Amino acid sequence: MSKHLLFLLLTLSTSFFAQVKFEKGYLIKNNDERSHVLIKNEDWLKNPTQITFKATEDGAQQTAQINEIKEFGIDNFSRYVRFTGKIDVSTDNLQRLTHTSEPVWETQTVWLKVLSSGKRNLYSYRDKENDRFFYSDESTPIEQLVYKRYYPGGNTSNAVSNNYYRQQLQTYFAGEEVGNKLRLIPYKEGSLTQFFHAYNELPKQTVSTAEKSKFNLYARPGISIGSADLLFEEGSTANATFESNIGPRFGIELEYVLPFNRNKWSVITEPTFISYKQTGKNSGNTDVSVKFAAIEIPMGFRHYMYLNSSSKLFVDAVFNVANFQVGEGNLQYIVAGTTYQKYFDLSLGLNMGFGLGYNFKDKFMIQARQYTRKELTTNYVFETGYYNFSLIFGYNIL
């Protein structure tokens, strides 16, 4: 099993770090010089503070800072413009809300992401905790739309909102036939973008490239190559190493694809049935056997790496948060030099798994996953370890 694990970890690291994708885009420098370049598309969850680009496919990688670039964009994907001005740095974390409705202004220089552009422009800025939205048009420079949650009078059981952004929008769109649409519009990227987009009469496909969350449900049958060992202490005649065998495994995986970073990240959970049964000889050359069946509940994260519009590689890591034994699980062995048989009920420990796979059209997948050692006798002073390498096939039934 250690060879499987080493191979998988090396493959995972190679695949993960090899995926550096430069896409066609442009830069506008401080002197208004526009250059067509290839920009490393990291689909930033938070607004970037620097970017990496190349002048040509074979060119050297270069780094550009905010103070050098007033605007940049990746073709058919995203566009950022530089802004220097007041940004509300109030936290939106419920544990640390302030007690007043007034924004906490700081003057900063940042790149704002363009969500919608035309007669009226909408921008976004995201830092560690907050989403802020900004507005501009031909007569109005870029200005933040103000929204702030706070605890009035320090009452931490009652968070209220300063929704001044609605008044701002009513003023900006005064005279337009959109008033009713602005009275209750949420301070959310999707809602604001949809409104601006409709006003600017832009086709749907040119709206902000923010992705949508998505659920997938995969049936995941496969095989498990398992082995086990029994260890009392060094030199004990009861020590044993069980040979590998192949057994079935079956899981149902629920995947929640996160709505950022081009849907490259997801959260997964997969209740999985596994079983193992093997007999052998211990160091004292007497019979020893182990068997168990269980349903594991792993949870973890997955990262996708796109090959083209239909295909993608992925790596994932899961932690088995619970085990439920199915039927009897036990360990038995004959004490060396006697006919006396010892019998132990199994109690399963928790472990982790690391996987590498291929997904086609979000419908079919194949994956290899190596699990770390699972302790089978957690209630005893001796150790019984189970090792598992799985080959898994998946079909999206949603």
pLDDT at position 286 is: 86
Lowest mean pLDDT among 6-15, 40-49, 121-130, 282-291: 6-15
Report pLDDT for 149. Answer: 94
pLDDT at 294: 92
Residue 145 pLDDT grade (very low, low, confident, very high; cuts 50, 70, 90): very high
Q: What is the pLDDT of residue 18?
A: 47
Query: Predicted confidence band at 61 (pLDDT cuts at 50, 70, 90)?
Result: very high
* pLDDT exceeds 60 at position 2: no
CA 246, CA 269: separation in Å to the nearest integer?
24
So what's the pLDDT on residue 212?
63
Q: Per-residue DSSP letters for 92-150?
A: --TTS--SSSS--EEEEEEEEEEEE-SSEEEEEEE-SS-EEEEEEESSS--EEEP-EEE
Are 24 and 74 a contacting pair, CB within 8 Å? yes
What integer pLDDT is reported at residue 206 of this predicted model? Answer: 42
Q: How confident is the model at residue 205 (pLDDT cuts 50, 70, 90)?
A: very low
118 closest CA partner among 29, 34, 206, 178 = 206
pTM of this prediction?
A: 0.63
pLDDT band at residue 179, thresholds of 50, 70 and 90? low
pLDDT at 180: 73
Which tokens in the block code for residue 110? 């940042």
Task: Tell me how crowded residue 306 is: count the other CB atoms within 10 A of its CB.
Answer: 16
CA distance 66 to 71: 9
d(CA 1, CA 3): 5
Percent of the chain clearing pLDDT 70 (strictly above): 91
User: Helix H segments across the chain?
Assistant: 2-18, 164-172, 179-182, 189-200
Q: Residue 174 to residues 170, 179, 202: CA-CA distances in angstroms?
A: 6, 8, 21
Whether the predicted pLDDT of 3 surpasses 90: no
All structural domains of the chain, each given as residue ranges with its CATH number in brackets, are 20-76 (no CATH), 78-209 (no CATH), 212-396 (2.40.160)
pLDDT band at 4 (very low <50, low <70, confident <90, very high): low
What six digits make up the tokens of 235? Answer: 């030199």
Residue 207 pLDDT greater than 60, yes or no: no
| 386, β-bridge pairs | 228, 374
In 3D, which of 370, 274, 373 has the Cα closest to residue 324?
274
Q: Is 80 exceeded by the pLDDT of residue 213?
A: no
More confident residue, 13 or 51: 51
- Which pair of structure tokens corresponds to residue 343? 């019998």
* Cα distance between residue 221 and residue 35, in whole Å: 51
Average confidence (pLDDT) over 88-95:
90
253-263 residue pLDDT tens: 999 998 777 78
Longest CA span, the chain: 98
Cα–Cα distance for residue pair 153/196, rounded to 1 Å:
35
At position 205, the amino acid (one-letter code) is: Q
pLDDT at 321: 93
User: How far is Cα 40 from Cα 23, in angstroms, rounded to an integer?
Assistant: 6
- Matching residue, tokens 């295909």: 311
Only one residue has tokens 């992705």, namely: 211
Mean pLDDT calculated for residue range 83-101: 92
**Cα 36 from chain centroid?**
31
* pLDDT reported for residue 83: 97
Average pLDDT, integer, range 190-219: 76
For strands 383-396 and 287-306, give the pairing: unpaired
